[in-house]
Structure 1
Amino acid sequence: MTSTNAGHTDNGDWLVGNPTGGQLASALWIGSVGLLILGLQPVLLGALYTEGHVSGDELALVATAEMIAIAIGSAIVAMLLSARNMRWKSAILLIILALANWWTAHVATPHMLISARAVAGLAEGGVVAVATELIARSRRAERIGGYFVTIQTLAQSALALLLALYVIPAAGSAGGFIVLAVVCVASLAVAWKVPADYADLPREEHFGNVLTLPSITALLCIFCYFMFFGAVWAFLEPLGAQFGIYSWTVGLMVSASLAAQVLGAMTATVLEARIDHRITIAAIGAIAVASSALLASGPGLTTFWAVALVMGFILLFIVPYQIRLAITADETRTAVLLVPAAQILGLAIGPIAASLLIDGTDFRPVPEFAAACALASVVLLGLFILVSRRRRAIA
C-alpha cells in the first residue's frame, strides 16, 4: 500500500505513524475476522461433506478457491491500493464478506458454493491487509504479529466450539455460515475505530526489493510450512473417520487445537526475542514432519488427539519467527506484507495438491504429503541461511 498521508511522525514503537492502542486493537480485530474461516474450515467444510453437499474432491476445491482468493485479496490491497479511507474500506469489505457468507448458506450446488467462497476469500484477504499493513509499520512487528494471531485464534476457538456443539447440530452448515455473516455485521462498529489513513513506510517501490533470492526463499519456506498444515487441516474430519473417530469428536479436537494455537501464539509472543528465529523454524519443521508421520501410521484416538494439539501449538508459535525471517530477508519490509499471502496460498495449495493423491476413501496420502511439505520448508530455510551468508560475505 501507499499513502499520501505522510504527516505522521516517528514514534518509539512505530516506524511511521502513532496509532493508539484502541486503533491498533481495532485493526487487529478487523484482520482477525478475515481469518476466522481458517480455524473453522474443518468444522464447516466437514459439515458440508457429511451433509452430502460436496464430495472429497469438491471439498478440496472449495477450500482451495477460498484460500487462493484470500491470498490474492491480501496482496492486492497491501501492494496496489491506497492506504487512505481505511475505515470506509474496512466497512465495505465486511459488508461484502457478510453477504458472501449469507450466500454460502443458501447455495445449492458445488459450483455455486465455490463461487461464493471465492468472493468471500477476496473480501477476507482485504480485511487481513487492514491489520498486516499496520503491523508492518511497527518496530516490533513480530510481537504485534503475535498479538494478531492470538486474537484471531481466540475468536476461532470460541466460534469452533459454538458451531460444533450447538449451531451445526441444530442448523447444519448453513447455520454456521449465517453466524459468520452476523459476526461481520457486528464488526462494522469496530471498523470506525481503525486509523483513517496509514502513514507511508520508508521504502522504495514495492517490488524493488522483494524480488531477491533471500526474499523469495524466505517466502517459499513459509509457503511450504503452511502447505503442510493446510493439507492436514482441510481433511482432518475424513482422515479421522478413516481411523474410526466420530466427526463430533473431530469437531472437539478442532476447538482444542485452536486453543493450543492460542497458547502457541502467546508463548511465541513472550519468547520471540529470546530464541533465534532460524533455530525455531528448523525445530518446528522437524516436529511437523514427525506429527505428519504419526497421522499416516493409522493412530488411535489418544495419538490423534495428541497430534492435533501439537500441530495446533506449532502452527502459530512459528508465525512471529516467520515475520522475523521476512524482515531479515528484506529490511524495507516489503516481504513482510507478502507473508500473509504466502501463508494463505500454502493453506490453499496444500488441500488441492493432497487431494490428487487420495485413492477413493483412503486419506493416508494426505499426511504423507504434509510431511514432505514440512521437510521442504526446512530445506528452504537452510538455503536461505546459505544465501544470506554469501550475500553478507560479498558485502
Structure 2
Amino acid sequence: MRSTNAERAENGDWLVGNPTGAQLAAALWIGSVGLLILGLQPVLLGALYTEGHVTGDELALVATAEMIAIAIGSAVVAMLLSARNMRWKSAVLLVLLAAANWWTAYADTPQMLISARALAGLAEGGLVAVATELIARSRRAERIGGYFVTMQTLAQCALALLLALYVVPAAGSSGGFIVLAVVCMASLAVAFLVPGDYADLPKDENLANVLTVPSIAALLSVFCYFMFFGAVWAFLEPLGTQFGIDGRTVGLIVSASLAAQVLGAMTATMFEARIDYRLAITAIGAVALSSSLVLASGPGLTTFWAAALVMGFILLFIVPYQIRLAITADETRTAVLLVPAAQLFGLAIGPIAASLLIDGGDFRPVPEFAAASAVASVALLGLFILASRHRRARP
C-alpha cells in the first residue's frame, strides 16, 4: 500500500502527498477566507469613515496595519511552523479571526480598531499559509495558484455585493464585520476537510534557501509589482476627482475592476502553461507602465475606465507566473511560501510611499510612482535571469 501511494505521488500532480479534490478545495477556501478583506476594505473601511469612527489618516493606519499583519502572519506560519495538524490550526485561526471581527464591530476608538484589525491580519495571514503550503507541494503550483486567486476573488465579489447592497445600509459597518465573523465560524465545517498533515517537501524548507540573489530578486519583483497596484488602488477616487470624475462613478469603476480581476485570474488559469513566465511578467509590466502613464496624463472618463479595468485584469493574471518565478528561483519551494507576504507588503507599502510624493491636491505623482514600480519589477526580473544564468554556469 505504501509503495502504491508513493508511486501515485511520484507520477501524479503532487511532489509529495496526494490530497483529494475535496481536500484541496477546502485548503484553498480556508486561504480565501483569510483574504476576503482585500475585496471588502473599500466597503467596510469606507463605512467606518462615513460613520465617523475614524478620520482619513486613521483609516489609512487601520488598512495598513491589517495588510502588514497579513503579510507577517503568512510568512511566520509558512516558515516557522510545521505543516502538521493543519485541520486544528485552521480551526483555531478561524475562531481567532471571528473574534477579531467581532471585536472590530464593537470597537469604539481608533486605537481599538487598529489593534483589532492587526490581530485579524495575523490570523488571516495564517489562513493564507494553509493554502500556500499545499500549493507549494503541487507539481502544477501555478495552476493551483490560479484556482486559488479565482476562488478568493469570486468570494470577495459576492460578499462585497451582499454587504454593499444589504448589510451595511441596514446595520452599518458593525453589521459587515459581524457577517465576516459568521463566515469564519461557518468555515469551521470546511476546516476539518483540510488534510491533517501536509507531507514534507523533498528538500528541507530552510530560510537560507531564500537568501540567494535569484530568490531575493524574484520576491522583490513580486513586491514592486504589487506596490504599483497598491498605490493606484488606494488613490483611485482622489485621482478621479482631480480629473473631474465623481465619487459614485469611481465606485462603479472599482466594482468593475473587481470583476476584471476575476476574469484575469480565470484567463491566467487557462493559459498559464502556454506562456513562458518571463515573457508574461515582462509583458504585464509593460502594460502596467502604460496604464500608469495614462492615469498620470489627466485622462477623460472613457480612458480612465479603460486604464482601471486593464489594471484590474492584470493584477491577478500575473499571479500564476509569479509563482512559477519563485519556484524557478528556489527549487526547495521555500521562496514560493513567501510570495503572499511579498504581495501584501507591496500592497501596504505602495500607498504609503506614493503618499509622500503628493503635493497638496495634485495626485499625479501617484501613478508616476506606480509606473516606476512597474519598471522596477521588470528590472528585478532581469536581475533574476542574469543571476540564474550565472548560477547555472558555475562548475
TM-score range, shorter chain: over 0.9
**Which range moved further: 233-242 or 285-294?**
233-242
In 2, distance between residues paired with 1:241 and 1:55? Answer: 19
Once the two structures are superposed, the pairs formed by residues 186-335 of structure 1 within 5 Å of their partners are 186-335=186-335
Deviations 1:76-124 (A, max 9, x none): 1111112221111111111111111122222232222211111110000
Percent identity, aligned pairs only? 84
In 1, distance between residues paired with 2:112 and 2:304? Answer: 34
RMSD: 1.9
Once the two structures are superposed, the pairs formed by residues 113-132 of structure 1 within 5 Å of their partners are 113-132=113-132
**Residues 205 and 333 in structure 2, CA contact (< 8 A), matched pair in contact too:** no
In 2, distance between residues paired with 1:300 and 1:109? Answer: 40
**Residues 164 and 248 in structure 1, CA contact (< 8 A), matched pair in contact too:** no
Kindly indicate whether residue 366 of structure 2 is the aligned counterpart of residue 353 of structure 1: no
Deviations 1:173-226 (A, max 9, x none): 333222222211211111111111111011135113111000000000000001
User: Runs (4+) of structure 1 moved beyond 4 Å?
Assistant: none
Counterpart residue number, 2:143: 143
Q: For this pair of structures, how many residues does the alignment match?
A: 389
Shift of residue 129, structure 1, vs aligned partner: 0.4
Give 3-state SS (helix, strand or coil) of 2:151's partner. Answer: helix
Counterpart residue number, 1:388: 388
Name structure 2 gaps, 5 residues minimum: none
In 2, distance between residues paired with 1:247 and 1:180? Answer: 26
Counterpart residue number, 1:62: 62
**Residues 206 and 334 in structure 1, CA contact (< 8 A), matched pair in contact too:** yes
Counterpart residue number, 1:40: 40
Deviations 1:277-311 (A, max 9, x none): 11110111111112122222333332222222111
Give 3-state SS (helix, strand or coil) of 1:272's partner. Answer: helix
Q: TM-score, normalised by structure 2?
A: 0.93
Structure 1 pair 239–114 and aligned structure 2 pair: CA distance change class (3 A): farther
**Which range moved further: 74-83 or 235-244?**
235-244
In 2, distance between residues paired with 1:80 and 1:258? Answer: 33
Q: TM-score, normalised by structure 1?
A: 0.93
Shift of residue 361, structure 1, vs aligned partner: 4.4
- Letter of the 2:38 partner, please give it: L
Give 3-state SS (helix, strand or coil) of 1:200's partner. Answer: coil
In 1, distance between residues paired with 2:388 and 2:239? Answer: 40
Counterpart residue number, 1:3: none
Give 3-state SS (helix, strand or coil) of 1:208's partner. Answer: helix
Counterpart residue number, 1:80: 80
In 2, distance between residues paired with 1:249 and 1:155? Answer: 23
Deviations 1:39-71 (A, max 9, x none): 222232333334443333333222221111011
- Letter of the 2:21 partner, please give it: G
Structure 1 pair 359–166 and aligned structure 2 pair: CA distance change class (3 A): farther
Structure 1 pair 42–298 and aligned structure 2 pair: CA distance change class (3 A): farther
- Letter of the 2:97 partner, please give it: L
Structure 1 pair 354–303 and aligned structure 2 pair: CA distance change class (3 A): same
**Residues 78 and 129 in structure 1, CA contact (< 8 A), matched pair in contact too:** yes
Shift of residue 134, structure 1, vs aligned partner: 0.4
Kindly indicate whether residue 152 of structure 2 is the aligned counterpart of residue 152 of structure 1: yes
